[in-house]
Amino acid sequence: MSMAKYTKYLSYDEALKKLQHYCAYQDRCHSEVRTKLINLKIYGDDLERIITDLIADNFLNEERFAQSYARGKHRIKKWGRYKITSHLKMKRVSAYCIKKGMQEIDEEEYLETLTNLLKKRLGDNPSFEDKGKAAKHVINKGYESSLVWEVIKTMKLRSES
């Protein structure tokens, strides 16, 4: 029997249980949960009630989501602040939660990650063009251009010694 032929409507309790599992597996933002509920064909008062219950039971916490998102994207994907912030905005996370999330990124670790990304791209004897390409790469990863060029200037590169 094909799934397309009939649609199973979930009761409030079934939908709540399904969403609790969805949120327990990984931190989620409100827009992801809303989209998931709509995909499950849950609308209106039931949708709002489920979201309220998830928040009340701490399954859904947007501040916690922003913090783990920022930490993870920086540590695992090596993203910079601009890219993390813009992705959180795309997920319609509040400015307050974005600010809280960005506080999770340690300044020293941030500079170290940026320096390591640049070192990996530059090698020992980079030309001016190589520096430009490396800078463009890390700027595209969301690092601030002024900070990128500042780090490039302070790096001990063999061609300049």
pLDDT digits (tens, 9 = 90+) for 33-44: 999 999 999 989
pLDDT band, residue 127 (cuts 50/70/90): confident
Q: Region 100-113: what's the mean pLDDT? A: 96
pLDDT the model gives residue 28: 96
Query: Any residues with CB less than 8 A from the CB of 10 and at least 6 apart, and which?
Result: 18, 40, 41, 42
Asked if residue 19 lies in contact with residue 37, where contact means CB atoms within 8 angstroms, the answer is yes
Using CA atoms, how far apart are residues 157 and 95, in angstroms rounded to an integer?
39
Binning pLDDT at 50, 70 and 90, where does residue 123 land? confident
Would the pLDDT of 114 be above 60? yes
Residue closest to 57 by CA, chosen among 109, 110, 17: 17
Q: Model's pTM, two decimal places?
A: 0.85
DSSP for 22-67, written as a single string: HHHHS---HHHHHHHHHHTT--HHHHHHHHHHHHHTTS--HHHHHH
Residue 104, phi then psi, degrees to nearest 5 = -75, -15
Region 20-43: mean pLDDT is 94
Query: Taking a C-beta distance cutoff of 8 angstroms, is the pair 145, 135 a contact?
Result: yes
How much is the pLDDT for 160? 46
Q: Is the pLDDT score of 157 beyond 70? A: no
Residue 68, pLDDT score:
96
CA 161/CA 15 separation, integer angstroms:
64
What pLDDT does residue 7 have? 56
Q: What is the pLDDT of residues 52-92, one digit of tens each?
A: 999 999 999 999 999 999 999 999 999 999 999 999 999 99
Which pair of structure tokens corresponds to residue 30?
A: 């409100």
CA distance 24 to 35: 17
* pLDDT over 60 (residue 112): yes
